[in-house]
Amino acid sequence: MNDRTPPGSRYPTYARPERPERYEGTAKPAPRRTLQALPVALGLVAGVLLVIVGATLLSRGSTPPTASTTAKTPAFAPTARQLCDDLTSQRYDDLYGLLEPAQQQIGPRDQFVAVQRQLDAQLGAVQTCAYSVSQQDARHVTLTLKITRGSAPTAKAQAQLTYEQQGWRISDYDTSLVAAPSQLWSGAIN
């Protein structure tokens, strides 16, 4: 190698690396990797979208919303608890308010409260009240009440709640535990 600068040149001469021979002819097209990967990428995106849509449908339920599923009936348990609370705390005005309008038509609030107070005097006030569900559908619930009055043993009675526009109301219940047998206002609650 010649490390000297040839006369008349300002730059030193270096040995040039060998170049590979050029292919003379038609140029080969570059591989189209992006076009080959496109179906795979689209399939992946479609799969992810299907999973998202499926998860959304499952989280909302498998049936499309209808009038019956969009306007769900509220739970009856608060009304059932209030019924028992009103009996055990002798809040008979509030208990009368739980009666459906057809039951309230049988007699006025004052008479209903008087009947309950007379029953408390004869049999003892309600000490305990618990309920369990006997039957249930979308608009009706039949409860079995377990009531203890005074020193008497626990007795069972039936009460039916019906869902109306105002909410759950007492539509019917066993008068043997809530109305004195000698009372003139029979059927005040049944």
pLDDT score recorded for residue 189: 42
Closest residue by Cα to residue 170 from 150, 149, 152, 190: 190
Q: What are the two backbone dihedrals, phi and then psi, of residue 37, each rounded to the nearest 5 degrees? A: -85, -15
As beta bridge partners, residue 6 has none
- 107, 185 in Cβ contact below 8 A? yes
pLDDT score recorded for residue 32: 60
Long-range CB contacts for residues 112-119, cutoff 8 Å, separation at least 24 = 112/185, 112/188, 112/189, 115/179, 115/180, 115/183, 115/185, 115/188, 116/90, 116/92, 116/178, 116/179, 117/90, 117/92, 118/180, 118/183, 119/178, 119/179, 119/180, 119/183
pLDDT score recorded for residue 57: 74
Task: Tell me which DSSP letter residue 186 carries.
Answer: T
pLDDT score recorded for residue 69: 41
Q: Which domains does the chain have, with CATH numbers?
A: 77-173 (3.10.450.100)
pLDDT in tens, the chain (190 residues): 555 666 666 666 666 666 666 656 566 665 566 666 667 777 777 778 778 887 777 776 545 444 444 457 789 999 999 999 999 999 999 999 999 999 899 889 999 999 899 988 888 899 999 999 999 998 999 999 999 988 888 889 899 999 988 799 999 977 665 554 444 344 444 4
pLDDT score recorded for residue 31: 57
